[in-house]
Amino acid sequence: MQEKAEDHFDFEQFAKHPAWLRLNDQLEWYDKKSGDNQRRYKQIKIAQLILAGSIPVFALVGDVWGRWVTAILGASVAILEGLQQLGQYNNLWASYRSTAEQLKHEKFLFLAHSGPYRGLKEEDALSLLAERVEEQVSTEHAKWVSERSKQDDKQEQQGK
């Protein structure tokens, strides 16, 4: 099978292209933020489990200090849950991971000259890459803004 000139991109050329740089920048950002939010979520949940599991043990002590420790542990569990709800670490972890995986998928399609990039010349493929990356990033951003607005509305309603 004879290869066409446009079947292979000049990697050095497109590696400097803004679309390629943006893809890699956003992929790295979403990957890092997903990991950060996963760690925060798991740290809070582990702390809650330990504290909540300690409550019955200290409740059995019965002394004044046992009641104080039990009360402090219970309050700590509630505070940690409030922090988790405010930070939305679980939702952000999942959302950012999803976006990172979509960007990875896009990168592999581009590199393999597959899907929407099949048969395109390098400049056309890079233009399409820019459009598709920006579409994914702006969709994620719109989702984030929408979720924040819902949270703000919910908090406002609870405050009334």
Model pLDDT for residues 138-155, shown as the tens digit of each residue: 988 888 787 777 776 776
Query: Sign (positive/negative) of CA torsion 78, 97, 17, 121?
Result: negative
Range list of H helices, 2-121: 11-14, 18-61, 64-87, 89-111
What's the CA angle centered on 16, arms 11 and 20, to 5 degrees? 80
pLDDT tens profile 48-95: 999 999 999 998 887 888 889 999 999 999 999 999 999 999 999 999
Q: Counting beta carbons within 10 angstroms of the beta carbon of residue 122, is it exposed (0 to 12), middle (13 to 18) or buried (19 or more)? A: middle
- Cβ atoms of 89 and 37 closer than 8 Å: yes
Tokens of 94: 């999942």
Q: What are phi and psi of 114, to 5 degrees?
A: -115, 175
Cα distances (angstroms) measured from residue 18 to each of 75, 85, 127:
50, 37, 10
pLDDT tens profile 30-44: 999 999 999 999 999
Does pLDDT of 5 surpass 70? no
Give the residue extent of every domain in the chain. Answer: 20-159
pLDDT-based confidence at residue 3 (cuts at 50, 70, 90):
very low
Averaged over 17-41, what is the pLDDT? 96
